[in-house]
């Protein structure tokens, strides 16, 4: 079964919607170092995250500053921290080791630029970049797209064939993000066979709130893809 994470939660209403529809993980963007529409301060995030019921994972999306990451993880007690900045492998490794002491798992994003196609990694080869992240001791790898003004939520897809190759070369769970919506997520799941999918702007209405119909049809598409591929490698 492909896991589903809805990211960029900003209200109790959106949390209730996602929980009612059976979403596995909820993402909260907290004090991200770049101005994005979903950014929460730590106090608002703490209040919202307290409303997430048992058996639904709480994920905070952060970036770059290790001290801030540690502070937020200690305060908010998430199940997982998603490193969505330009953390080099050594910094990622240090953060992952420290958070294990708090019982917090780490997801590291590998993002490709929609303008240049390059990854936020010193490696030219995305497979080598993914292997470096795996060697840093994280618990999962997330593949996403980024632009000059958006570190996520670009509406642009990653290369699914490349994503499949990365998934095949790692032991880590691979989570697919980047330009997913109800109209393409079924094909993405069939092509990549990721551990999970992550969506933010693809389930929002024009004013940036989670759209109940878009969330519902996205989840149905993911589940339908899982049923259609059952029994196949």
What distances in angstroms separate CA 221 from CA 136, 214, 215, one per listed residue?
A: 33, 10, 10
In a domain, 78, yes or no: yes
More confident position, 145 or 139: 139
Query: Which residue range(s) make up the domain with 75?
Result: 3-228
In this prediction, residue 232 has a pLDDT band, given cuts at 50, 70 and 90, of: very low
What distances in angstroms separate CA 123 from CA 27, 92, 106, one per listed residue?
A: 28, 15, 21
In a domain, 48, yes or no: yes
For 58-81, the pLDDT digits (tens) are 999 999 899 999 999 999 999 999
Residues 135-162, mean pLDDT to the nearest whole number: 79
In a domain, 90, yes or no: yes
In a domain, 233, yes or no: no
Q: Which residues contact 150 (CB under 8 A, 6 or more apart)?
A: 36
Q: How many domains does the chain have?
A: 1
> Which pLDDT belongs to residue 230?
44
In a domain, 28, yes or no: yes
In a domain, 184, yes or no: yes
In a domain, 60, yes or no: yes
Entry pTM: 0.91
Q: The CATH number of the domain where 45 resides is what?
A: 3.20.20.70
> Which pLDDT belongs to residue 34?
87
Are 102 and 74 spatial neighbours (Cβ–Cβ below 8 Å)? yes
In a domain, 168, yes or no: yes
For 168-187, the pLDDT digits (tens) are 999 999 999 999 999 999 99
């Amino acid at each position: 079964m492909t896991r589903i994470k809805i990211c960029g939660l900003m209200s109790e209403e959106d949390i209730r919607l996602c929980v009612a529809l059976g979403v596995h993980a909820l993402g909260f963007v907290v004090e991200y170092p770049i101005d994005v529409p979903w950014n929460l301060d730590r106090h608002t995030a703490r209040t919202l995250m307290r409303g997430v019921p048992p058996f639904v994972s709480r994920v905070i999306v952060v970036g770059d500053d290790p001290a801030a990451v540690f502070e937020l993880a200690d305060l908010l007690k998430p199940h997982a921290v998603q490193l969505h900045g330009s953390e080099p492998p050594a910094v990622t490794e240090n953060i992952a080791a420290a958070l294990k002491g708090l019982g917090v798992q780490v997801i590291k994003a590998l993002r490709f630029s929609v303008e240049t196609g390059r990854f936020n990694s010193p490696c030219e080869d995305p497979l080598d970049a993914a292997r470096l992240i795996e060697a840093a001791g994280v618990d999962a790898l997330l593949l996403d797209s980024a632009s000059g003004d958006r570190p996520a939520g670009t509406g642009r897809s990653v290369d699914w064939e490349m994503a499949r190759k990365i998934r095949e070369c790692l032991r880590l769970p691979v989570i697919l993000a980047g330009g997913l919506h109800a109209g393409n997520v079924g094909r993405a799941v069939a092509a990549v066979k990721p551990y999970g999918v992550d969506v933010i702007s693809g389930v929002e209405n024009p004013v940036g709130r989670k759209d109940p119909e878009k969330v519902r049809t996205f989840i149905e598409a993911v589940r339908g893809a899982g049923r259609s591929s059952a029994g196949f490698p």
